[in-house]
Chain A
Amino acid sequence: MEQKNIIPIIDCNTVVGFWPRRKVDSSLQALLKTMERYGVVRALCVSTNAIFYDYRRGNDETILMARQSNNRLLPVITVDPREYIGCFKEIELRARQGLRLFRFFPDIQGWPIRFAPFRDIVQMLNELRLPWMVSAHAIGVATEIAELVKDFSTPVILTSINYNNLSEVISVMKHVLHIHVETHKLFSPSAYELLKEHIGVERIVFGSFAPIQYFASSYMPLMRSSLSDEEKQKILCENIRTVLMTKVQQVEVVGEGAG
C-alpha cells in the first residue's frame, strides 16, 4: 500500500498551516512527507491562514509555500464571501498573477450557498473563466450549487461528497456538465464504479485532504476499486490537468512568478 504507485498523483485537496480545530501537524514538511510516501508529484494547496483568518495574507503564504516546495505545491486561492468588499480586488490580483484555481469553505466559515456575496464572487470567476472548488458537505448543498452555476461554463469541483449525498451529486452532474467531484470523502464501496456508470470517470478528481486526514483512507478505496489503470490515472492525475486547462509544468512557471 505504501509503495509509490507508477501512476503519478496530483492531489487536488491539501492544506498547510496551523489547524485550529484539533492538534495535528499540518506543516509544509508534514505535507511533503506524505507526498513523498505515496508518490504524489503535485498537490493543490491552500494556506489555513487564508481559510480561518486573513485570506490576503494566507494567499500570499500559499504562493510562498509553493515556491519553498520547489513547486511541488500548486497554489489554490481563496476569499471569504463574508467579507465581500475586498474579494473582487483579491480575485483580480490573483488572476493577474496567473493563479488558476479558487476554493471556498462555506462549511468552515459558516455561510450558505444561497448567499448574495457568494453569487457575485462566482459570477466574477465565471467571467474570468477561472475554475473553483467548494465543499458540498450536506444534503441539498450540491443542488444549490448546481442551480447557481447551471448557466456558467467554468469547471466547478465539489468536495466532501460521501454516501449521504452521492446520489444528489450524481443527479446534479448529469444535468450540469461542468461540475466535477473530488474524492477525499468518497468512502463507500462501489462509489467509483457508480460514478463511472452514471457520469463517467472524466469528472472525478483525486483529493486526500492531507495532512489533516490520513492519505491512505482516500487513496486505497480508489486503488482497490474495479476501475482500470487507465481510469485510475485519469482520476489521480489527468482530469485535474484538464480542469486547470494547462499542463502541470505550465502551472509551475505561472506559480513561480506569482506574488
Chain B
Amino acid sequence: MSIIDVHAHLGRFPFPLPDGTTQLLKEFCTQHGIEKVMVSSVEAITCNMVSGNEKLAREIEGDDVFLGYVTINPNYFDESVAEMRKYLYLKNFVGAKLHPSYSAQPISSELTYELIKAYRRYDKPLLVHTYSAADAMALVNLTKQFPELVVIMAHMGGPQWEDAIRIAEKHPRVFVEPCSSYPDKNKLRFAIDRLGPRRVLFGSDMPLLHPSVTLGMIMEADLTDSQREAILYRNAKHLFGL
C-alpha cells in the first residue's frame, strides 16, 4: 500500500534525535513504503523563516519524493507575504505551515487573521500545529472567516484529540492528521466515526517521531482496508491534487 506523509520536517530539533536530512527521511520512506513526504523546515518554524524556507527549497528541488510547505510567521507579515509569493507558485510547494507555539502567536490572534487573509488567494491547504482543544477551536473559527480556506489540524489536538475531533466534526474544510506522542487506543476509529474516512490524513512528524508510531495506530485500528488506504494515501492525493 502506497503512503503519502503530509507532516514531516527537514532540519534539527534540540533533542537527542538524528538530523532530519533528506537522506534520513528517504531511508524511513523506503523502510515504510512512503511514496511522498511533505516537509517544512525546522529552522523556519523555530527561528528564521526566511533562511529556513530557502534551505528547504534548495534541498528538495528536483527530488520527487519531497514536497514542501512554506513556513509563515504572523509576527512578520510583510516577510511572510514575500515568502508565500516566492514559493507558493512553485510546483513542489503544496501549502503553508503555521506553528503558533514557536511563533508565540495564537491561531486566534489578529496578526494570524491578517496573514491568513493574505494566504487564502493561493488556494492551497494550510497545515497548523494544534496541541489542545483551544487550538482546534481557534482553527475552526479561522476557517469560518475564510470560506475558501482548507486546513489540516496537525497532531489532531494532541492529548485533547477527542475534543478536537468533535470541534472539527461539522466543518468539512478541516482535515486532521493524528501523529503525536499520544497514540491512544480508539483514536483513529473515533476520528473516522466522527469525520468520515475522507478527512483523516497520515503524518509521521519525522524526525521527531518514528513513522511506525502513527503507522502502528493505523494498522492496529479497527478499520477497513479501504479506510486505511484512504488515510494513508487517497485523501492526501485528492486534497493536494497529486
- A-side interface residues toward B, CB under 8 Å? 1-2, 22-25, 162-164, 166-167, 170, 185, 187-191, 194, 210-221, 223-224
Q: Is the CB of A216 within 8 A of B18?
A: no
B16 adjacent to chain A (CB < 8 Å): yes
Q: Which residues of B contact A185 (CB under 8 A)?
A: 181
**Are A224 and B17 in contact, with the CB atoms below 8 A?**
no
Cross-chain contact A162 with B28 (CB below 8 angstroms): no
A223 to B32, CA, bound (A): 12
Q: Are the C-beta atoms of B221 and A214 separated by less than 8 Å?
A: yes
Do B17 and A213 have beta carbons less than 8 Å apart? Answer: no
Chain B residue with the shortest CB-CB distance to A162: B181
Cβ contacts under 8 Å, A219 to chain B: 216
Measured CB to CB, the closest approach of chain A to B16, in angstroms, equals: 5
Contact of B185 among A2, A214, A220, A224 (CB under 8 A): A214
B190-221 contact mask (Cβ, 8 Å, vs A): 1 or 0: 00000000000000001111101111110111
Nearest CB in chain A to that of B184: its residue: A213
Let me know if B208 and A22 touch, CB within 8 A. Answer: no
Q: Which residues of A contact B208 (CB under 8 A)?
A: 163, 188
Note all chain B residues with C-beta closer than 8 A to A162. Answer: 181
Interface: B106 (CB within 8 A): no
Task: Determine if B183 and A217 form an interchain contact, defined as CB atoms under 8 angstroms apart.
Answer: yes
Q: How far is the CA of A212 from the CA of B217 in the complex (A)?
A: 12
Which of these, A188, A216, A217, A218, contacts B15 with CB under 8 Å? A188
> Contact between A187 and B17 (Cβ–Cβ < 8 Å)?
no
In the assembled complex, 24 residue pairs joining A and B whose CB atoms fall closer than 8 Å, in A order, are: A2-B219, A23-B186, A24-B184, A163-B13, A166-B16, A187-B210, A188-B15, A188-B16, A189-B207, A189-B209, A190-B17, A211-B185, A212-B185, A213-B184, A214-B220, A217-B183, A218-B216, A220-B212, A220-B213, A220-B216, A220-B219, A221-B212, A221-B213, A221-B216
Contacts of A220 in B (CB 8 A): 210, 212-213, 215-216, 219
B162: interface (CB < 8 Å): yes
Whose C-beta in chain A lies nearest to the C-beta of B14? A167
Complex Cα distance, B181 from A185, in Å, reads: 7
Q: A162-B181, A220-B215 are in contact. Are A189 and B17 (CB under 8 A)?
A: yes
What 10 A-B pairs have minimum CB-CB distances, sorted nearest first? A216-B216, A220-B212, A217-B183, A217-B216, A221-B210, A216-B220, A220-B216, A163-B15, A187-B213, A214-B183
User: Please, which residue of chain A has its CB at the minimum distance from the CB of B182?
Assistant: A213
B31 at interface by CB-CB < 8 Å: yes
Chain B interface bracket (under 10, 10 to 19, 20 to 34, 35 or more): 20 to 34
Partner of A214, one of B15, B207, B217: B217
Rounded to whole angstroms, the CA-CA distance of A213 and B182 in the bound complex is 8
Q: Can you name the residue of chain A whose Cβ is closest to the Cβ of B17?
A: A188
Please measure, in the bound complex, the distance between the C-alpha atom of A163 and the C-alpha atom of B210, giving whole angstroms. 11
Assuming the contacts A163-B17, A224-B31, asked whether A187 and B181 have C-beta atoms less than 8 A apart, the reply is: yes
A88 CA to B98 CA in the complex, in Å?
A: 52
A241 to chain B, nearest CB (A): 25
> Whose C-beta in chain B lies nearest to the C-beta of A216?
B216
Task: List 12 additional A-B contacts (Cβ < 8 Å) besides A189-B24, A214-B217.
Answer: A1-B219, A162-B181, A163-B15, A188-B17, A188-B208, A189-B18, A212-B184, A216-B216, A217-B214, A218-B183, A220-B213, A224-B210
What chain B residues lie within 8 Å of A214 (beta carbons)? 183-185, 187, 216-217, 220-221
Q: Do A189 and B221 touch across chains, with their CB atoms under 8 A apart?
A: no
* Bound complex: CA A70 to CA B219 (Å): 29
Q: What is the bound-complex CA distance between A216 and B32, given in angstroms? A: 14
Assembled-state Cα–Cα distance A220/B208 (Å): 16
Q: Which residues of A contact B221 (CB under 8 A)?
A: 214
The CA-CA distance from A211 to B31 in the complex, in Å, is 27
CB distance from B156 to the nearest CB of A (A): 14
Inter-subunit contact B15/A1 (CB<8 Å): no
